[in-house]
Amino acid sequence: CVRCQAQAQGSDMDGHYIRRCVELARKAAGHTSPNPMVGCVIVRDGRVVGEGFHPKAGQPHAEVFALRDAGDLAENATAYVSLEPCNHYGRTPPCTEALINAKVKDVVVGMTDPNPIVASKGIERLKSAGIDVRLCVEEEASCRKLNEAYIHRMLTGKAFATLRTTLSMNGVVVNQIGSGADQLGGYYSTLLKEYDGIIISSNFAETTTLPMSNETGAKQPLYIIIAQGEKSQLNIPFLKQECASEAIVLSDSPITVEPSGVEVLVLDQMNLESILQLLAQRGLCSVLVDFREAGGSITSLLNNFQEEKLVQKVVVELLPFWAVSKGPNDLAFGGSQSFPLKDVEHSEVNGCVLLEGYV
Ligand code: AOF
Ligand code: ZN
């Protein structure tokens, strides 16, 4: 019947507009933590009348920007939001009230908010105000993927960890910045933009020239430098540059760091679990474990990462590059079992093959 067709069309369009919300949300990738990335689209009579996204924690939510953009046209419109609207006073007032006051007719959400102070209460509040609310089942998975790190932190109290390495065509772990291989690794600047922090070993920090965020145009990720063993001094040249990123040194014993002024924390327990908890407490949702040296101070942290469920994702860049092997090459760690990764995707970036999979 005509009515059913109209409904089918309506739900087809749900997917379309929620995908647009995800696209808008991603504009703030790397800037929203500890908050999620959220996008919102306001549609009236089949026409987009307002769009917005959440730019940064402390700033207004996506719905507020989209409602402002729509103005009076929000009345009787449909609001699409990639995440359930919040119903609490945090750094900003509840989006449910903003939607109710704007008199929207219905709301389509991409996923419910795992934040226990929201968790379906936003949807209930909208329904109690007579607003029709539906979940866009078709795009729920893409909304979850968008905020996989935020969801993980919310549910576990730990930062979402991605293990990253680069391999040459002959299977050598490429850690020699300046060898020519790093120029090919154009994907690194994308990672710098998207992750809240990057864990590297003290050896790597001492010997490398990491691309600084000002050079790559990205925001400043926090470098988390792991110092383990007998070292009592650490000299980190890349932190002496003018546009240096922020850094924190996590050490298992007292240590002096050059340049001075870098924050140093001596941990009683140097294990990945306590590090990821500490980073989550500091508001980081996602962290990249940049692993490019066998036997370095990060190896021991990763010994049982699969069993401990501490690493969620693995990213490997395969570079069109032949490298000289300078020592043990196989990143041998990770417990006693071999296992296939899940939901593997591959893509090509600047002539490198990028493989991503979930643990
Ligand atoms: C939304 N739309 O765009 C975002 C939401 O401190 P606040 O006020 O920014 O609140 C943060 C919480 O609000 C965050 O943990 C998450 O539950 C929700 N984020 N909600 O309706 C948005 N960013
Ligand atoms: Zn909100």
Taking the CA of residue 62 as reference, the ligand 1 atom at the shortest distance is 3
Taking the CA of residue 38 as reference, the ligand 1 atom at the shortest distance is 3
| Ligand with smallest separation from the Cα of 92 | 1
- Asked if 257 and 244 count as a contact pair (C-beta separation under 8 A), the reply is no
Residue with tokens 């145009």: 217
288 alpha carbon to ligand 1 midpoint, in Å?
Answer: 24
107 alpha carbon to ligand 2 midpoint, in Å?
Answer: 13
User: Quick one: pLDDT at residue 309?
Assistant: 87
36 alpha carbon to ligand 1 midpoint, in Å?
Answer: 7
Taking the CA of residue 122 as reference, the ligand 1 atom at the shortest distance is 21
**Catalytic site includes residue 356:** no
**Active-site annotation holder among 63, 84, 139, 317:** 63
ipTM of the shown complex: 0.98
| Ligand with smallest separation from the Cα of 95 | 2
Global pTM reads: 0.90
195 alpha carbon to ligand 2 midpoint, in Å?
Answer: 23
Residue nearest to atom 20 of ligand 1 (CA): 86
- Asked if 204 and 292 count as a contact pair (C-beta separation under 8 A), the reply is yes
Q: What is the dihedral of CA 181, 187, 188, 189, to 10 degrees?
A: 120
Beta strands (DSSP E) in the chain are 39-44, 47-53, 78-81, 106-109, 132-135, 160-167, 197-201, 222-227, 233-235, 247-251, 256-258, 263-266, 286-290, 313-318, 342-349, 352-358
- Asked if 290 and 301 count as a contact pair (C-beta separation under 8 A), the reply is no
| Ligand with smallest separation from the Cα of 36 | 1
How far is residue 147's CA from residue 39's CA, in Å, rounded to a whole number? 12
81 alpha carbon to ligand 2 midpoint, in Å?
Answer: 10
Coil/strand/helix, residue 355: strand
Q: Which residues are within 8 A (CB) of 47 and not within 5 positions of it... i.e. 6 or more apart?
A: none
Residue nearest to atom 9 of ligand 1 (CA): 91
Burial of 144 (0-12, 13-18, 19+ CB in 10 A): middle
- Asked if 175 and 293 count as a contact pair (C-beta separation under 8 A), the reply is yes
Out of 24, 27, 35, 67, give the residue to mutate to test ligand 1, the one with the largest number of ligand atoms within 8 Å of its CB.
35
**Angle of helix 62-70 versus helix 2-25 axis, rounded to 10:** 120
Residue nearest to atom 22 of ligand 1 (CA): 61
Residue nearest to atom 2 of ligand 1 (CA): 61
Neighbours of ion ligand 2 (CB under 5 A): 61, 86, 95
95 alpha carbon to ligand 1 midpoint, in Å?
Answer: 8
Q: β-strands 160-167, 222-227: how paired?
A: unpaired
Tens place of pLDDT for every residue, the chain, 359 residues? 344 343 444 567 999 999 999 999 999 999 999 999 999 999 999 999 999 999 999 999 999 999 999 999 999 999 999 999 999 999 999 999 999 999 999 999 999 999 999 888 999 999 999 999 999 999 999 999 999 999 999 999 999 999 988 888 888 877 654 445 455 555 666 777 789 999 988 888 888 766 555 554 445 689 999 998 777 899 988 888 766 678 999 999 999 999 888 999 999 888 999 999 999 999 999 999 987 765 567 777 887 777 788 999 999 888 888 877 766 656 666 666 788 999 999 998 877 889 999 99
Taking the CA of residue 37 as reference, the ligand 1 atom at the shortest distance is 23
How far is residue 347's CA from residue 192's CA, in Å, rounded to a whole number? 18
H helices of 129-269, where?
Answer: 140-146, 148-156, 181-184, 187-194, 202-207, 213-216
Residue with tokens 């409602």: 67
Taking the CA of residue 57 as reference, the ligand 1 atom at the shortest distance is 9
Is the CA virtual torsion 136, 138, 144, 147 positive or negative? negative
Ligand 1 pocket, CB under 6 A: 35-36, 38, 54, 57, 61-63, 83, 85-86, 90-92, 95, 113, 115, 118
